[in-house]
Structure 1
Amino acid sequence: RIMMRILLECSLSDKLCVVREQQYEIIIIPTILVGVFLILLAVILWLFIREQRAQQQSPRLQGIAAVPPSRGLSLEAAGHGGSMFVPLKERSVESLLQTMTHALAKLQVPREQFCDSLEQIHSGSYGAIYRTKMYIGDPAKPKSVVLKALKEPAGLYEVQDFLGRIQFYQYLGKHKNLVQLEGCCTEGLPLYMVLEDVTQGDLLSFLWTCRRDVMTMDGLLYDLTEKQVYHIGRQVLQALEFLQDKHLFHGDVAARNILIQCDLTAKLCGLGLAYEVYARGAIPATYTVPLKWLAPERLLLRPAGIRGDVWSFGILLYEMVTLGAPPYPEVPPTSILQYLQRRKIMKKPSSCTHTMYNLMKSCWRWSEESRPSLKELHARLETAARTANDKAVLQVPELVVPELYAAVAGIGMESLSYSYSIL
């Protein structure tokens, strides 16, 4: 035992000297133990509170989840928000439009080139969406286009965001498997974004129509074979590879976000999340997507990346081969994370070949690193398509009830309407 003896004011002439023994270990060691206990208790409480907050922030009652931050953004993808995009220094809508006139000069379409009659086809989050004719070249052959309008009155922030989305599409450029930006009208109000018209509508509605006992409708053959599923899938992968080359990802790959043409050309839309990542380098907490299409890391609110799109692509293959069935039909949307945590995946549909199901399973691997890259997946689809059946038509006898589908899929009815929610 360690002791310290301290003589208190003793001299050689004193007959009695007081000696004090101080046993420091009796005081120090309990103090250290109490301190360590309090630190451990604080850490445990902090972890518990963080877990509770994470559960509260996930709006599971709605069947949708907030999108986590993006992973692996380069400076090219995340750094343009303050330089290339709409200037934030402007203090009025008028001055902002004047400033942007030069930047968007090549995209401006004179309003007199549009037909006077506008057919409203949807009411979007920013305003009404119209179909109309645009006269370019031969007046006898007007071009059908879609006008996405910004509702009025619009504040400075709404105008900035609307113009920023036009610039983002300008930055992306042309790709045959993305809906094309035809131009804009931003020199005055109302503001319009001019988009190409893909008249057949979204892939999900097309799949539902394929369930009906019809041969053709409006010149489009409503029969789908396994080989055509691969054909559509390859086009979606080409669009995703195009986004990846620009250090972006889609974030909501689903049949409802793909438009289809008469020749089965697929065009990916719904690029709102890609815009948020590009313009701001982050994703707003209010941005939500349906749970059943999300990869496990997204459900756990971890950083998002292109491998999450690979997972969703497997869900897309399931949608196509089942002609638009909701994923995980036996699992409530709010229970999907617990279902996946038990390492369960969807069973093979009766109309699905083993080759296609193996592709789906490779997309649904829990670990992101174990999933195939877009290039690897593309090569596997090419190989599978060579021996795919191009004669047998996929058939599902039951017709879809949209309200029931929305409840099982965990999405809102507004997402099922004919919509050009491209950005």
Structure 2
Amino acid sequence: MERARVGSWWEALRRAVAGPDVAPVRPPLDRWPRLAAYAGPVGLLAVVGLFAVALATETGRHLPGVVPFLFAGLTVAPLLVLPRRPLLAWRLTVLGLATCTFNAPAGAAWPWNPVLALGSLLVLAVVATRVDRPVLVWVGLLTMVPVVALVDPDHRIDVVVPVLMLLVLGDLVRGNRLSRRALAAQTALSERERERRAVLEERTRIARELHDVVAHHMSMIAVQAETAPYRVTEVADGARAEFAAIAGSARAALTDMRRLLGVLRSESTGPETAPQPGLADLPAMVDAARRAGLAVTLDAPAPAGGTPAPVGLAAYRIVQEGLANAARHAAGAAVRVSVRPGPHALAVRVENTAGDDPSTVERCAGHGLTGMRERALALGGTFAAGPADGGGYVVDALLPYDGEGGDG
């Protein structure tokens, strides 16, 4: 633990001395475009004026040659890069504090020229609001080195106190800004949560209305189909079986509707706990289609090693949708279902002849074919559907599998 803490402080020192600069922030004047247009020229004039003041001060110290110009340039350089590169501005400031004290007046409280002294405070204030606390600690300590070494002992406290105050106030400003950002993020999160709750409440209301309307009518269909043979004096055996099939289909549809309504009402759905249908359930589905009046033949030999559950479920749903489409769009047609397992894939084919009304063979735009295609593609397989050459319609799907696991 202590080693990690020491390592973090050394990393903060590296960031302060030679690390990447902090990300630039949006300039305040961007909120006022008209004023921002004048910021560049006004800033340039201000820098030129400050350079002139610093040069006059350094020249009054009787420095040789171009040294006054170098010191004056080093004085204003941090102000030029401060808006975009605050850490670089601080590094230049420390360099200026350490070098620009030659021939300073004896006993002066600030051994630097006024522009460098006030500019250093501005740079420290900006840096304190932009860097995290470990880096700020090193910034403060490294800034104190030239202060303690070069300032007269009688005036040292007069320099140290303003520097420390700026660092502390800048850190407080940064903490307050971060707190406001966190509060804004939490407020946005709460607003999204309220919107999500409103959506869930609306879904619950829709589910309740669906249950009141659809489930009632489905129940009435089932009850009427069950009681019809007792209300009609003469009912053939085939009609009784058809009424029973209608009642069973209605109750199955009612069960599926209740499951769907449960999904609509729930905030989040857990994993399915009921067994999912597979290849073993195809004969029962085909028998139900026959009882409903559809002429169906099934060719589905059981695979030797079984098929994975996702493949079996996809095949079941594709056959189910194919039979439903044949009954809906090709009344009276003969339907052949073929499910042939291969060494690496399961071939599913649902083919129906032309119905009594040829105009009903063409499929209308809906979600059935799209759902079958999505199931096949989700397993990495292929899907094709279209009119047959001799009339009717053909659905072909190839569902790959690795032969591991099975659903029976």
**Shared fold per TM-score greater than 0.5:** no
- Given the two structures, how large is their TM-score scaled by the length of structure 2? 0.21
Point out the structure with the larger helix share. 2
| Bigger CA radius of gyration | 2
Choose between structure 1 and 2 for higher RCO, CA contacts under 8 A separated by at least 6 residues: 1
